[in-house]
Chains A and B, each alone.
Chain A
Amino acid sequence: MSFINPLKRFFLAIEAWFNIAFGSEWNPLYNIGRLAFFFFWVVFISGLYLFVFFDTSLSGAYASVESITHEQWYAGGVMRSLHRYASDAAVVTIVLHMFREFALGRYNGFRWFSWVTGVPTLWIVITLGITGYWLVWDEMGLYVAMLSSQLIDALPLISGSMSRNFVGHQMSDRFFTLMAFLHLLGQPLFLIAALWLHVKRLSLVKIIAPKGLAIGSFIALLALSLASPAVSHKVADAAQVPEILSLDWFYLNVYPLMDYFTAGQTWIITLSITIFLMLLPWLPPKKREAAAEVHLNYCNGCEQCAEDCPYDAITVQDRTDGAKFAHEVKVNPDLCASCGICVGSCPSSNPFRQKNEVLVTGIDMPQMPINDIRTHMDEAIAKLKGNGKIIVLGCDNALDISQYEAANIQVISLFCIGMMPATLVEYALANGADGVFVTGCRTNDCYYRYGNVWMDKRFEGSRQPILRRRADRSHIKVFRASVNDKAILLRELTEFQRHINTLDGKKEKTVSEVESEFESGHE
């Protein structure tokens, strides 16, 4: 059995707990990126409100924030708190998002682009928060201004000293207005561009959080805003250095480092961490599998694969081979994740076709062509012995299904469960299997984003190519399981086998009988 990263097990365990409370649709960890977007929306809307009342001058900023906070605590005060806590929550979700993608191995290989563009996005968010604290122009604002300037002075960019602006009485309104411009417009534009780049290689990107999760998160934010409203420190005074500050550690964690290191050293530390994080996808490099290949002779240009591809690797173009169809598809190997979902999308992947010859489909994976899958299926069915003959179909990124192989259970693992043509299930039942048990990544957590979603829709008949009605659903079971769910899957599989035996009119066995049969099959 292969080694499973303990961090991965940890995340999967937490996600299982969340599935109990939220269901997979609302699971916060399955929607962590969308949740970050939701917090950005709260920050944006509350920020717009605050901007209406905010005085962008050095002399008026603090007083206007105080007025917003106290004189209209029920509106401006709440908005300010929402602005602050949603910003903090955004950092928590971004960091969790990064950790999760790392823990689940979703950061390297074809995903390198999203990872590499994601790391600087976090820094843009952090700097956006820093200028936000600056604008309050309280003791913390002055602290932030002073130390940020020291960091900027350490760069060989300007010959003057920016730090000098914040001692004595030298700071000008103009500089403060520049900060306001940066926070209100400049940095948000950078952030939008960075987020666009971050999701550029994905198709069917969802940035709106599920309704239930959004409502729950907003209520929680609102409750926190009312319970502990965000307030300012004392007004900034260049002649004073407060002994204690209530730092926002989500945004201002770099500054205390400057108690121990010079500004130059602080740059080296933060840049080293950033570069290390950005290089992670190549430490070590992940071997890239062969990309999908189009076989034009079997492609009618239906475009289903292009619609289903989760990574925008398939484009539709005018026909080049003179065939009667208007379009054909083309694969961009640089974007292809080698998930094989396109194979499951292609109507030509139907295993009932070309029964006595080599099965060729319109789009195929060279390392595991559809013909090989059909051959594996034929061989697996031939190996099945005893009662309740079951074919288990799974994927390489979920639970290793080979451990369930027994005399009456044969397994076929695909790159992704979305790679499976729905008709393969029907094919298995038509050729001797008593039941087909389909597993794969947990619902709403497909390693390749949409594999199990498309599979469900094909089974329901709402997405082509469908699992036909003639396939007897009572002989089919879908149960998804992660590497943490070994025992649960065994229980479900055993239960299914028992159910199949009942259906076939055979003597109903107890679960323990089926389990002991399963275990003896292993010996």
Chain B
Amino acid sequence: MNRILRYGLQAFYYTLFMVVVWYFSFKPSYHQLAENQAVITLSFTHATKLREACRKLSQQELMKLAPNMRLATDCPRERSPMQLELYLDDKLLTKATVEPTGFHKDQGVNIFQRIKVVAGKHSLRLWMNDNINIKGPTYRYEQNIILKPEQQLLIDFDAGSGGFFTS
């Protein structure tokens, strides 16, 4: 075959290849959010209350233990699961029951959820229960918010500072 024609064909194939590379390197554009949407991200870690309180061991129970294991109180390590409900404009946005982490369920609960919502004015309300021995919420939070399009509102939690806060 004619040399020029061969090089021409090669150029055509290289171009075709690079068009494929270029196109999928950028396109089709990915729409992470619809128009006029924002994101509420619920993200925190929290050490929930222990499931059971410490208990004094009886003399009989102590005698059954090896001498070096004889502690006067037994404190089970397992923590309570966390229950949480989040409402936006009185509509339930998410409801979660999260077990504590760790082999013995003795570490904190982790929650990470991203929820797409319509931007604008909203009333935000949520409650959490972190103690299995108490019925009903142990923490509550309410706030009126204004979400701009593409804004990410973070709902965080810090028991030491009184509970939930947004940023």
On A, residues with C-beta under 8 Å from B are 18, 20-23, 28, 84-85, 88-89, 92, 143, 150, 153, 159-161, 163-164, 167-168, 216-217, 219-221, 223-224, 228, 230, 238-250, 256
User: With A22-B10, A150-B112 in contact, do A242 and B150 touch (Cβ < 8 Å)?
Assistant: yes
Return 28 A-B CB contacts under 8 Å, by A number. A18-B13, A22-B6, A28-B13, A28-B17, A89-B17, A92-B17, A159-B102, A161-B43, A164-B43, A167-B41, A167-B154, A220-B18, A224-B18, A238-B154, A239-B151, A240-B152, A241-B32, A241-B38, A241-B150, A242-B32, A243-B150, A244-B29, A244-B32, A246-B26, A246-B27, A247-B29, A249-B24, A250-B25
- Contact residue among B20, B32, B150 (Cβ-Cβ distance under 8 Å from A92): B20
Residues on A with beta carbons closer than 8 Å to the beta carbon of B15: 220
Once the chains bind, are A238 and B25 in contact (CB under 8 Å)? no
What is the bound-complex CA distance between A164 and B156, given in angstroms? 10
Once the chains bind, are B30 and A245 in contact (CB under 8 Å)? yes
What is the bound-complex CA distance between A20 and B149, given in angstroms? 54
Once the chains bind, are B110 and A92 in contact (CB under 8 Å)? no
Chain B nearest CB, measured from A356 CB (Å): 51
Once the chains bind, are B6 and A21 in contact (CB under 8 Å)? yes
- CB closest chain-A residue, reference B152: A241
What is the bound-complex CA distance between A453 and B35, given in angstroms? 60
Chain B residues within 8 Å of chain A by Cβ, number: 45
What is the bound-complex CA distance between A412 and B2, given in angstroms? 36
Residues on B with beta carbons closer than 8 Å to the beta carbon of A168: 43, 154, 156, 167
Once the chains bind, are A238 and B152 in contact (CB under 8 Å)? yes
What is the bound-complex CA distance between A245 and B29, given in angstroms? 6
User: With A220-B17, A224-B22 in contact, do A243 and B33 touch (Cβ < 8 Å)?
Assistant: yes
Once the chains bind, are B9 and A164 in contact (CB under 8 Å)? no
Chain B nearest CB, measured from A442 CB (Å): 17
- CB closest chain-B residue, reference A28: B13
Besides A21-B12, A216-B14, A241-B150, 11 new A-B residue pairs in contact (Cβ under 8 A), listed by A number: A23-B6, A92-B17, A159-B102, A239-B152, A240-B151, A242-B32, A244-B31, A245-B30, A246-B29, A248-B25, A249-B25
Residues on B with beta carbons closer than 8 Å to the beta carbon of A85: 18, 21-22, 25
What is the bound-complex CA distance between A219 and B13, given in angstroms? 13
- CB closest chain-A residue, reference B26: A246
User: With A244-B31, A244-B32 in contact, do A163 and B112 touch (Cβ < 8 Å)?
Assistant: yes
Once the chains bind, are B43 and A167 in contact (CB under 8 Å)? yes
B1 at the interface (CB under 8 A from A): yes
B39 at the interface (CB under 8 A from A): yes
Chain B nearest CB, measured from A83 CB (Å): 12
Once the chains bind, are A243 and B13 in contact (CB under 8 Å)? no
Chain B nearest CB, measured from A122 CB (Å): 16
User: With A159-B107, A256-B30 in contact, do A243 and B35 touch (Cβ < 8 Å)?
Assistant: yes
What is the bound-complex CA distance between A89 and B154, given in angstroms? 38
Interface residues of B in 72-111 (CB under 8 A from A): 101-102, 107-108, 110-111
Once the chains bind, are B112 and A89 in contact (CB under 8 Å)? no
What is the bound-complex CA distance between A21 and B101, given in angstroms? 61
Once the chains bind, are B22 and A228 in contact (CB under 8 Å)? yes
- Contact residue among B9, B24, B34, B110 (Cβ-Cβ distance under 8 Å from A161): B110
What is the bound-complex CA distance between A245 and B112, given in angstroms? 22
**10 nearest A-B pairs in the assembled complex, by CB-CB distance:** A21-B9, A220-B14, A161-B110, A159-B101, A247-B30, A163-B112, A246-B26, A249-B24, A224-B18, A243-B33
Residues on A with beta carbons closer than 8 Å to the beta carbon of B10: 21-22, 216
- Contact residue among A89, A239, A244 (Cβ-Cβ distance under 8 Å from B30): A244
What is the bound-complex CA distance between A167 and B112, given in angstroms? 10
Chain B nearest CB, measured from A264 CB (Å): 13
Once the chains bind, are A160 and B110 in contact (CB under 8 Å)? yes
What is the bound-complex CA distance between A163 and B18, given in angstroms? 35
- CB closest chain-A residue, reference B110: A161
Chain B nearest CB, measured from A147 CB (Å): 10
User: With A85-B25, A161-B43, A164-B43 in contact, do A153 and B33 touch (Cβ < 8 Å)?
Assistant: no
Residues on A with beta carbons closer than 8 Å to the beta carbon of B44: 164
Once the chains bind, are A224 and B154 in contact (CB under 8 Å)? no
What is the bound-complex CA distance between A163 and B45, given in angstroms? 11
Chain A nearest CB, measured from B15 CB (Å): 7
User: With A161-B45, A239-B151 in contact, do A20 and B9 touch (Cβ < 8 Å)?
Assistant: yes
- CB closest chain-B residue, reference A250: B24
A interface footprint on B133-161 (CB within 8 Å = 1, 0 otherwise): 00000000000000001111010100000
Residues on B with beta carbons closer than 8 Å to the beta carbon of A244: 29-32
Residues on B with beta carbons closer than 8 Å to the beta carbon of A221: 18
Residues on A with beta carbons closer than 8 Å to the beta carbon of B13: 18, 21-22, 28
Residues on B with beta carbons closer than 8 Å to the beta carbon of A216: 10, 14
Residues on A with beta carbons closer than 8 Å to the beta carbon of B21: 85, 88-89, 92, 224
What is the bound-complex CA distance between A28 and B16, given in angstroms? 13
Q: Most A CB atoms within 10 A — which of B6, B15, B25, B39?
A: B25
What is the bound-complex CA distance between A241 and B134, given in angstroms? 38
- CB closest chain-A residue, reference B41: A167
Residues on A with beta carbons closer than 8 Å to the beta carbon of B33: 241-243
